[in-house]
Amino acid sequence: MRQLVVVGNGMAGVASVEQILKRARHFEISIFGDEPHVNYNRILLSSVLAGEKSADDIVLNDINWYRDNGIRARLGVRVVKIDRANGLVIDDAGQVTLFDQLILATGSSAFIPPIPGADKKNVHVFRTLDDTRTLLEKSGAGRKAVVIGGGLLGLEAARGLQMRGCEVSVVHLVETLMERQLDQEGGNYLRRKIENLGIRVLLPRQTQALLGNGRVEVLRFTTG
């Protein structure tokens, strides 16, 4: 039987496999995911952060789905090399897997701006379930949190942290929140709604450096 390898255990990769399984079965399937989790709904991570859902609530396909469909689930395993000429993928454990067909569905990765001090402790990204769990561990009543980025994901993170008791500020580079989706009037309306929730909004502010002795304590802006 032909070998299908899917690199990426997220929503897109698994949805592709679900469609393949609805048709005649011509493949043995292996799915690689560098997260050690089954397929989950990444869109709902903000609901987990806010306490509206649990991690189990956002699972799309549990481990039994992989087993029932004869899928080899390589969870927590990252593909580091693809040999197209010989139909091979090599993972970070050094194991080799043959493929006749290969689907790449690795998605995106969190962007960390090149701000001096971004390598200090207490600087986090928000994209995966493990990221969410880390933020939950660090959040709580009386804790101060700053979210750099006033797009949709940043605002969802800010609201989630506030729901966990944090005092939250949103720092955004341009004059309008969610400027890719909203015009000036819509952005101003959104800012008022966010501020009415008790979240501080700082616009337009460019972060020049993250200061602190080993851990972030202060943001310094280009305005001084």
**How many Å apart are CA 178 and CA 155, to the nearest integer?**
9
Query: Which amino acid makes up residue 114?
Result: P
* pLDDT tens digits along 109-127: 888 999 999 999 999 999 9
Banded pLDDT at 26 (limits 50, 70, 90): confident
State residue 24's pLDDT score.
72
**SS3 assignment, position 197:** coil
Half-sphere exposure of 167 (CA within 13 A, CB side): 3
Q: Which domains does the chain have, with CATH numbers?
A: 2-104 (3.50.50.60), 129-221 (3.50.50.60)
CB distance 167 to 142 below 8 Å: yes
